[in-house]
Amino acid sequence: MPTELAARIAELTPSATLQVKRRADDLRAKGTDLIDFGLGEPDFNTPEQIKQAAQQAITANFTHYTDTRGTPALRAAVAEKYRRDYQAVYDPEREVLVSCGAKQALFNAMLALCQPGDQVILPAPYWVSYPEQIKLAGGEPLVLPSRPEQGFSLRAAELEAALTPRTKAVILNFPNNPSGAMIERAELEAMVELAIRQDFYLIYDECYEQFVYSDKPFSPAEFANDHTLIIGSCSKTYAMTGWRLGWAVGPAELIRPMGAIQSQSTSNPSSISQAAALAALSGDQDRVAEMIAEYRRRRDLLSQGLSAIPGVQCPTPPGAFYLFPNVEGWFGEEINNSVSLATYLLERAGVVTVPGAAFGAEGHLRFSYATSQEQIAEGLRRLRALFGRSSPTR
């Protein structure tokens, strides 16, 4: 090459899922029938009233630039959502930013906050993009392992013990991807207070906010302050992953520079996606409740099925649409980590999973139940055939 690439590219960690994904793509191309537990998106279609709102926006020629922060109507709808659901007050003009998905909102935050030497604490297991975004922004991810025996939840005392003089922010994600874990309300409130006392930003990714099966959803918006940034999205709740529409709500002192960064990258999110999101947030929520009820049935089916297979430890998590069982009982001399096991399941059973190593938690596999009950039943049948008596990897 005539010029050298930026050093930051070399610092990015190659995805631990790439090997499995490439192999899965190869098998699909050859006509292999796969059961896909790797999906990180809903298998439902976007509800009709949301699609109709987008179509109406196109017909009305709502196809031009909008305010780079999002339309005033959509920012007001985001603020109203938090008032309606959590009695929280956010100023749509100063404390709400609409972005091209939650991922962009998170990256905006990292770019606005991180300087060389700054640390951002990540409880593990974590979503795969967090550490890479931190590194791209010039910060340093500091991984804080959470305990499987605590259901991969986190306690405020554990977080406080992990703080250093260089802690700039902490990223929390509950309900959690990949584990489905929830945090206790009292612990979250204590962490919000800890952020004030120790002067760091608490960044709370609640993209799976509505995916709660044993309690009502709750949010740090209930007791947030000028040290808390909340990230939300239409992608999971409304089956809108391809629409690329998310947001951030929080202190104006952070929202303002995040908006300035966005104005120099993507500018505004798609005008059509914003019209769809406005309909999603402002319209009837019955379809959301129906989807959540179906996810719960799928969770129970998959959790019970996996728990009955020798070598698996699979607690039933309270949120998201993932199971994250410990599968070390399936390890052997050659298949001795989550990446090689995921590859083995793919090639021997046609079952797609995501290795726990990708999320900072070796010894686990992520199973998504964003697929039909029929597909779940067939996937379990294949796994029982492979592991029903003892581990064939030994």
Contact 141, 135 (CB under 8 A): yes
pLDDT at residue 16, rounded to an integer: 67
Class in CATH terms, 48-282: alpha beta
The closest of 116, 206, 120 to 171, measured between CA atoms, is 120
The closest of 163, 50, 177 to 103, measured between CA atoms, is 177
Answer yes or no: is pLDDT of 388 > 80: no
Token couple for 99: 């972005």
Instruction: Please name every residue paired with 141 in a beta bridge, in sequence order, or none if there are none.
Output: 120
Instruction: Tell the burial category of 26 from Cβ atoms under 10 Å away from its Cβ (0-12, 13-18, 19+).
Output: exposed
Answer yes or no: is pLDDT of 391 > 90: no
pLDDT at residue 198, rounded to an integer: 98
pLDDT at residue 80, rounded to an integer: 99
Gap between the Cα atoms of 180 and 299, Å rounded: 10
Q: Where in the chain do CATH 3.90.1150.10 domains reside?
A: 7-45+287-387
User: What rounded mean pLDDT belongs to the chain?
Assistant: 95
pLDDT at residue 2, rounded to an integer: 66
Token couple for 375: 């597909």
Pairing relation of β-strands 167-173 and 201-205?
Answer: parallel
Percent of residues, the chain, with pLDDT higher than 70: 97
φ and ψ of 323, to 5 deg: -115, 150
Q: Where in the chain do CATH 3.40.640.10 domains reside?
A: 48-282
Contact 20, 342 (CB under 8 A): yes
For 211-219, what is the mean pLDDT? 94
Contact 75, 248 (CB under 8 A): no
Query: Which of 2-6, 58-62, 335-339 has the least mean pLDDT?
Result: 2-6
* Confidence grade of residue 369 (pLDDT, cut at 50, 70, 90): very high
Q: Kindly state the DSSP code that residue 209 receives in the 8-state scheme.
A: T
**Residue 18 contacts by C-beta under 8 Å, 6 or more apart in sequence?**
none
Radius of gyration of the chain, Cα coordinates, nearest whole angstrom: 21
Q: Kindly state the DSSP code that residue 212 receives in the 8-state scheme.
A: B
Percent of residues, the chain, with pLDDT higher than 90: 90
Count CB-CB contacts under 10 A for residue 108. Answer: 28
Task: Calculate the alpha carbon distances from 26 to 31, 33, 97 in Å.
Answer: 9, 12, 40
The closest of 144, 227, 217, 151 to 185, measured between CA atoms, is 217
Token couple for 110: 């990292």
pLDDT at residue 274, rounded to an integer: 99
Count CB-CB contacts under 10 A for residue 254. Answer: 23
Task: Calculate the alpha carbon distances from 329 to 165, 309, 363, 375, 379 in Å.
Answer: 40, 10, 9, 24, 19
Gap between the Cα atoms of 75 and 257, Å rounded: 17
For 293-310, what is the mean pLDDT? 98
Tokens 């430890």 sit on residue: 313
**Residue 290 contacts by C-beta under 8 Å, 6 or more apart in sequence?**
none
pLDDT at residue 217, rounded to an integer: 95
The torsion defined by the Cα of 117, 120, 121 and 127, in degrees rounded to 10, comes to: -130
For 9-14, what is the mean pLDDT? 85
Instruction: Please name every residue paired with 233 in a beta bridge, in sequence order, or none if there are none.
Output: 246
Answer yes or no: is pLDDT of 334 > 60: yes
pLDDT at residue 21, rounded to an integer: 78
Contact 20, 343 (CB under 8 A): yes
Per-residue pLDDT tens digits for 148-175: 999 999 999 999 999 999 999 999 999 9
Longest dimension (CA), the chain: 63
Gap between the Cα atoms of 210 and 292, Å rounded: 8
The closest of 264, 236, 278, 266 to 92, measured between CA atoms, is 278
Per-residue pLDDT tens digits for 15-41: 766 667 788 889 999 999 999 999 889
pLDDT at residue 389, rounded to an integer: 55
* Confidence grade of residue 117 (pLDDT, cut at 50, 70, 90): very high
Instruction: Please name every residue paired with 96 in a beta bridge, in sequence order, or none if there are none.
Output: 249
Q: Which fold has domain 7-45+287-387?
A: Aspartate Aminotransferase, domain 1 (3.90.1150)
pTM: 0.95
For 111-115, what is the mean pLDDT? 98
pLDDT at residue 70, rounded to an integer: 99
Q: Kindly state the DSSP code that residue 364 receives in the 8-state scheme.
A: B
For 279-294, what is the mean pLDDT? 98
Token couple for 180: 């489905």
